[in-house]
Amino acid sequence: MKKTAIFLILLVNIYFLNAQEKNMLILGKIILKDSIAKEIHVVNKQQHKGTITDNNGLFNITVKVGDTLFFSHINLENKDIIITNKTILQGEITVYLDEKTEILNEFVLEKKRSIFYQDPEIITYNGPVVNAKTLNLPYAESVAEKEKNILKFKSGAVVSLDNLINSLNGNNKRTKQLKKMSLEDIEIQKIRTFFTDSFFVVDLKIKKEYINLFLNDCLDKNIIRIFKKDNSLKLTKILISESKLFPKKVTDEKLLLTNN
């Protein structure tokens, strides 16, 4: 009987030693105030792997003992969970998250004023008005034309229409190209809003000012098509993979500018 007990103890110890060394797939569920929380970002900090909860608040991720799972969402408080032997043994984990509370500083609303507003208590000049019109200067009634040769997008891209026209043959190709770039710009903004800036800055280590540049750099990975198909898991894997290469590209660009 004593030998049997020792044998069982050895088996348990061997099991836990193997569990600590090998990755295991666990099932997770996230709950917010007794309700299901979907589209929560889950990242294994040690293994640099991530996923997103589905509509039922469930997710799968590979872990081993000692790994830390990071949970984040723009409307929820971030949370870290350390994987233990008990988690590996159960093969599942339930995580409770809390809503994020933002406290705003007190402020007073005032009437909006133009940048050309002049305080009547300070301005005491009562002389004649002097401007181009009263001086009868030529072109006093003219209005400056808007700059039309530069096109700016919300994602941060800037395109010279002059260069674009020179590089394309015919107005039809030019129109199609501009339409394509405008649609890409809109979809990039949707992807950024879907993942939130916190995901890019905290999880992918992309500086906030480089987020749009990073997403533009990922266009050749078909991220827009994948996003439209609601395949958020595949899209997340692509962004995580590309983020590891992106810092080097930014550094190379800075060195190139310095050498020039």
Does any domain span residue 125? no
Does any domain span residue 134? no
Query: Is the domain of 80 the same as that of 172?
Result: no
| Count of C-beta atoms within a 10 Å radius of residue 211 | 21
Complete DSSP assignment for 105-118: PP--------TT--
Does any domain span residue 143? no
139 pLDDT band (50/70/90 cuts)? low
Does any domain span residue 145? no
pLDDT by residue (tens digit) across 197-224?
889 998 888 988 889 888 988 998 899 9
- Terminal alpha carbon distance of the chain: 80
Query: Is the domain of 85 the same as that of 13?
Result: yes
Does any domain span residue 126? no
Cα distance between residue 167 and residue 162, in whole Å: 9
Does any domain span residue 109? no
- Name the residue with higher pLDDT: 92 or 136: 92
pLDDT by residue (tens digit) across 2-52?
556 565 565 555 555 555 567 889 999 998 876 777 889 999 999 988 999
Does any domain span residue 133? no
Q: 15: domain CATH number?
A: 2.60.40.10
Number of domains in the chain: 2
Query: Is the domain of 80 the same as that of 176?
Result: no
For the cut 50, the answer to whether the pLDDT of residue 251 exceeds it is yes
Which of 80, 97, 114 delimits the end of a domain?
97
Average pLDDT, rounded, for the chain: 77
For the cut 80, the answer to whether the pLDDT of residue 102 exceeds it is no
Q: Please tell me the predicted confidence (pLDDT) of residue 43.
A: 94
Query: Is the domain of 161 the same as that of 91?
Result: no
Range(s) of the domain holding residue 29? 2-97
Share of the chain above pLDDT 90, in %: 21
179 neighbors 185 (Cβ within 8 angstroms): no
88 neighbors 65 (Cβ within 8 angstroms): yes
99 pLDDT band (50/70/90 cuts)? confident
pLDDT by residue (tens digit) across 49-77?
899 999 888 999 999 999 999 999 888 88
For the cut 50, the answer to whether the pLDDT of residue 239 exceeds it is yes
- Name the residue with higher pLDDT: 210 or 133: 210
For the cut 70, the answer to whether the pLDDT of residue 107 exceeds it is no
The gap from C-alpha 136 to its chain's centroid, in whole angstroms, comes to 55
Does any domain span residue 105? no
Q: Please tell me the predicted confidence (pLDDT) of residue 167.
A: 55
Query: Is the domain of 88 the same as that of 166?
Result: no
